[in-house]
Amino acid sequence: MLWKMVLGMELYPRIGKSFDIKVFTNCRFGMMSWAVLAVTYCIKQYEANAKVSDSVLVNTTLMLVCVTKFFWWEAGYLNTMDIAHD
């Protein structure tokens, strides 16, 4: 409790009762940005070379699978030990 007074910040800052800033920045913004960037790089490579290399295609596919899995199990992710401890 003393560290809150010294630093003047909360562990889980909120706006109102339902908007959690930490969840938004880590989950929504961060994970969605990762997916959008992966697809954008594929598009850029296609525009530059008229094809997408196998390595970029596999990397993008795996990233999209990871992001999809994250959003599918988001409630479980927020209850994991590293997030709860963080």
Contacts of 75 (CB under 8 A, 6+ apart): none
For residue 38, the model assigns a pLDDT of 93
For residue 24, the model assigns a pLDDT of 78
Q: Which residue has the tokens 């963080």?
A: 86
Domain definitions of the chain by residue range: 25-85
Compute the residue count for the chain: 86
For residue 9, the model assigns a pLDDT of 59
For residue 11, the model assigns a pLDDT of 65
CB burial string 18-46: b at 16+ within 10 A, e below = eebeebeeebeeebeeebeebeeebeebe
Q: What are phi and psi of 53, to 5 degrees?
A: -70, 155
Q: What is the pTM of this model?
A: 0.65
Kindly list the averaged pLDDT for each block of 10 residues, start to end, along the chain of length 86. Answer: 52 75 79 92 95 95 92 74 60
